[in-house]
Amino acid sequence: MNKKEIVYVVSDSVGETAELMVKAVTSQFNGADVEIQHISYVEDIQDLNNVIAVAKYSHSIIAYTIVIPDLKQYLDQRAREEGIIAVDLMNPLMEAFIEKFHKVPERQPGLMRKLDDNYFRRVEAIEFAVKYDDGQEIRGIKHADIVLVGVSRTSKTPLSMYLAHKKFKVANIPLVPEINPPEELFDIPKSKCIGLVITPDKLNEIREERLKSLGLNTHANYANLERILEELDYSETIMKRIGCPIINVSNKAVEETADLILAMLKKRGVINYE
C-alpha cells in the first residue's frame, strides 16, 4: 500500500481558500492519496511551532494563507531552517495587487467572511428554498420573502432556486384541484405572492416531454388537455382569491420570469432590490 502523504493547511482564519487550492492541485495528480490536516485560526508563534514540529516529523508540506506579517515571516524562516516545504498561497497575488494597484492591504485575517455577508444570506436562502419547495413545509409561507403558486411544471422550483441565488427566501406551493391550498396562503400579504400561469398547449407539451423522460405513457392524465384546462382554471380561481399578481411563464426563460417578479415586487415596495 502506498503511504498517504499529508499536507498541513495552515491559516490565521478558517483556511477554506488554502484547502480548495490543495484539492485543486491534488486533482492534477490523478487524485493522489493526500490527507489534508487543518490548523485554523493560528494566533501566535507557539501555534506555528506545533505545526512545524508535526510537519517535520511526517515529512509533510505546509500550505498556508497567513496575512499577519510577523507570523508569515516566522513560518517562512522556521520552515527553511527545518527543511520543510511551506507554500504561501496568498502573498504572491497580494504583492501583484500592491504593485499594480498601488494600494496597501489590510493584512487582517477573516476579512473575506466579514465582508461576504452576501454569501451567508445566499446559503440561507438556498436552504430555505430546498426546505420549502413544492409545499413540503407550510410554515415557510409566513417566513418567505416571495411565495410562488401555480400548477405543476410552471417553473416554480427552478424559479425558487434562481431567486434564492439572489438572496431571496422563496417558498412555492403547487395548486391541485383535489387538494385545498393551505389557509396560510391567504393570510400573508398578497403583494409578496406571485401566481404563475401558462398556456394549455405549452403545458401539455412540457408535461408530455416530462413523461417521456420518465419512460411513461404520454397519454397519462397528467398530460391530458382536459385535465390541464381543469387545473389551470382552478389555479386562476385561487390566485384571484388571493389577489396576487399573475405572470404568464409561457415561452419565458427562468431568468426572464425572475426579473419580472423582482421588478414587480420592487415597484410594489415589497423588496429592495438593485
Q: Residue 115 has what pLDDT?
A: 54
93 and 168 part of one domain: no
91 and 144 part of one domain: no
Closest CA to 7 of 153, 271, 24: 24
CA torsion through residues 102, 108, 113, 118, sign? negative
Binding-site annotation: residue ranges: 150-157
Which of 115, 148, 166 lies at the terminal end of a domain, its last residue?
A: 115
Distances (CA, A) of 92 to 21, 87, 88, 99, 136: 14, 10, 8, 11, 49
Set of cell numbers at residue 207: 408535461
Which of 99, 115, 131 lies at the terminal end of a domain, its last residue?
A: 115
Binding-site annotation: residue ranges for ADP: 150-157
Angle between helices 117-131 and 156-164 (to 10 degrees): 160
Residue 274 lies in a domain: no
Closest CA to 228 of 252, 246, 211, 245: 211
Number of domains within the chain:
2
15 and 90 part of one domain: yes
139 and 256 part of one domain: yes
Q: Residue 116 has what pLDDT?
A: 61
177 and 82 part of one domain: no
Residue 64 belongs to a domain with what CATH number? Answer: 3.40.50
Residue 143 lies in a domain: yes
With vertex at residue 191, the alpha carbon angle to CA 188 and CA 196, rounded to the nearest 5 degrees, is: 95
98 and 121 part of one domain: no
Residue 272 lies in a domain: no
CA separation for the pair 174, 154 (Å, rounded): 9
Q: Residue 17 has what pLDDT?
A: 81
33 and 96 part of one domain: yes
122 and 100 part of one domain: no
132 and 255 part of one domain: yes
CA torsion through residues 195, 201, 204, 208, sign? negative
Q: Residue 1 has what pLDDT?
A: 34
Which of 77, 97, 115 lies at the terminal end of a domain, its last residue?
A: 115
102 and 151 part of one domain: no
Closest CA to 191 of 255, 261, 139, 129: 261
Q: Residue 112 has what pLDDT?
A: 63
Residue 273 lies in a domain: no
Residue 11 lies in a domain: yes
With vertex at residue 41, the alpha carbon angle to CA 37 and CA 42, rounded to the nearest 5 degrees, is: 85
Residue 75 CB: number of other CB atoms within 10 A?
Answer: 24
Closest CA to 202 of 217, 231, 223, 175: 223
Residue 155 lies in a domain: yes
Residue 165 lies in a domain: yes
139 and 157 part of one domain: yes
pTM for this prediction: 0.62
The H helix count followed by the E strand count for the chain is: 10, 8
By three-state DSSP, how is residue 172 classified? strand
Residue 15 lies in a domain: yes
155 and 247 part of one domain: yes
Q: 172 lies in which domain range?
A: 117-267
pLDDT in tens, the chain (274 residues): 346 789 999 998 878 888 889 999 988 887 678 899 989 889 899 999 999 999 999 989 999 999 889 999 999 999 999 999 999 998 899 899 999 999 888 888 766 665 567 778 888 999 999 999 998 888 889 999 999 999 999 999 999 999 999 999 999 999 999 999 999 999 999 999 999 999 999 999 999 999 999 999 888 899 999 999 999 999 999 999 999 999 999 999 999 999 999 999 888 888 776 5
